[in-house]
Amino acid sequence: MERQILKFISELLHNEGLRSVVLVIIGFLLAELKDYFAIRRERKEAVSAALSDLLEVRHRFVGLELLVDELSSLGEIPEHVKSQLRINLDSLFPNWQELHDRYDKSVTTLARLDPLLSFQLRSKDFIGPTMRNLHSVMARDSQTATLLALPIKKGLVDKAELALNESALKLARGRSLLCWYRTRRLLKKAKELSSEGKEAWEPIKAILKSQIEARTGQAAPTSPTSTP
């Protein structure tokens, strides 16, 4: 068997026609491999950009809800006041349009390489403006705010966060198993402010606390003076 293989190789090396065919096939395979790795590298770069922008969208969305929950721990706050607080806090974040432009560009770039995944990611960043519009309505009407607060919290907010998490994990899986694992750990972390965030948040929290008390009438009432 070994002799037959060696004989075939010897004949192949001395046969100009066969050797040319083999060289053409090898050249074709090398070119295909080069294209494959180039596309693979380009896809990873596109996935990385989209994942980074999507995580920023999620961070902004989840962070806003976290800040409102922090304020809710100060005392009972009417739902329409919470809506107004969300609008005010959202204005402190970086310009949403800049994030939208960056995210849209990342998803559009990904569309050339994975149209289905790009379709699933499209418009995920509009959860922020959608929530802002809802809370703008709720902030003007206390009854509407009371009726919509629980359905929005348990329905829209929770499901939106779940959808963002699933999309982030799908993107991370397309990058690598290590990226998927690290992203999964990041998403499973308890939602709480970092030590730096808490330090920066405390002065703002104190100011907002006084505003909440003024709006809701929760400031400690003074005892009425008795008339003789």
Kindly report, residue by residue over 138-155, the tens digit of the pLDDT: 999 888 888 888 888 888
Per-residue pLDDT band for 35 (boundaries 50, 70, 90) equals low
pTM (predicted TM-score): 0.72
Give the mean model confidence (pLDDT) for residues 21-46: 71
The amino acid at residue 141 is D
Burial class (CB in 10 A: 0-12, 13-18, 19+), 73: exposed
Per-residue pLDDT band for 18 (boundaries 50, 70, 90) equals low
Of 165 and 154, the one with more pLDDT: 165
What pLDDT does 183 receive?
Answer: 93
pLDDT at 216 over 70: no
Contact 127, 78 (CB under 8 A): no
Give helix then strand counts, H and E, for the chain.
10, 0
The amino acid at residue 41 is R
Query: Across all residues in the chain, what is the average pLDDT?
Result: 80
